[in-house]
Chains A and B, each alone.
Chain A
Amino acid sequence: MTTPVSSMVLVVVGSFIGSFGAVLLKAGAGRLSRSVRSVVTNWRLGIGVAAYGLSSVFFVLATTRGELTILYPLVSLGYLWTLIWAKLFFNEPLTKFKFFGVGLILAGVFMLKLSTG
């Protein structure tokens, strides 16, 4: 079985949406207090959760055609996008250790999934 480019694009778009979900969860988390109101009226958390759901829909759509071994590691690209969003939106330092760490994780996920396939 070969993996069509369309499936790969779906997964990458999904990982993009998912990483934005993480940004919104972090933004929403920063606005939480002890009141129930701060949870219920927190639109950032709501959209963050919705973005996660949407990203998994993309992933399920993608996996109907294509090899999981190739597609699954692509989901982890979300870690890379998140490094960039964290710098852009929260001004978190982008260090070479972070890139190195994420690089190792990506390689590890790839090997893990390669062995399962």
Chain B
Amino acid sequence: MDRGLTASSTARRRRAVLLVFFCTLIGAVSQILIKTGATELARQVAHPGLIHAAEGMFTNPWLFAGYSLYGVSAVLMVLALRDGELSMLYPVIALTYVWVSVLSFFIFRESLGAMKLAGIALIVIGVAVLGRKAKP
């Protein structure tokens, strides 16, 4: 294979992994924002239904920011999928769970026990194994 072509495709693949990495970070922040907005909505309306939720996406700043960021992460995901392997990139999305746990620890003071830490470690190792370059 042409060396120049190989180099550029490697660079594109690396960019794809980096894009998904940012995608999971933004996705986690969007989940936190949506959770905050949903809690606020539940305080204002006794039983928020589908219509309240849809309305809240535009009237509640937390929800609006959350869903907007969700859209941004989806666009990043599509751009990443263009250049990388689906089988490698899609499971990396699980990192979102890790960021949500870490962010919840700092923002909502949610506990981060041994079990949770072990789960986080397993996900991170799993992503590392997955991202490991396949033997030619």
Contacts and interface: CB of A to CB of B under 8 A. Distances in A.
B100 to A, nearest CB: 9
Contacts of A61: none
B127 A105 contact: yes
Contacts, number: 120
A65 interface: no
Interface residues of B, number: 35
Given A104-B123, A105-B127, A111 B77 contact: no
Interface string A85-115: 1110010111101101111111111111111
A94 B115 CA distance: 30
Interface in B84-136: 85-88, 90-91, 93-94, 97, 101, 113, 115-116, 118-132, 134
B14 interface: no
B42 interface: no
A104 B90 contact: no
A105 B91 contact: yes
A107 B127 contact: no
Interface residues of A, number: 43
A110 B120 CA distance: 10
Nearest to B134: A95
B134 A97 contact: yes
Nearest to B82: A29
A32 interface: yes
B126 A103 contact: yes
A98 B130 contact: yes
B10 to A, nearest CB: 16
B122 A45 contact: no
Q: Which of A26, A28, A95, A100 has the most CB of B within 10 A?
A: A26
Interface string A61-93: 000000000000000101100110111001011
Interface of B: 74, 77-79, 81-82, 85-88, 90-91, 93-94, 97, 101, 113, 115-116, 118-132, 134
25 contacts: A23-B86, A25-B78, A26-B81, A26-B82, A29-B79, A79-B90, A97-B132, A101-B128, A102-B126, A102-B130, A103-B126, A104-B122, A104-B123, A105-B127, A108-B97, A108-B119, A108-B120, A108-B124, A109-B119, A112-B119, A113-B119, A114-B119, A115-B113, A115-B115, A115-B119
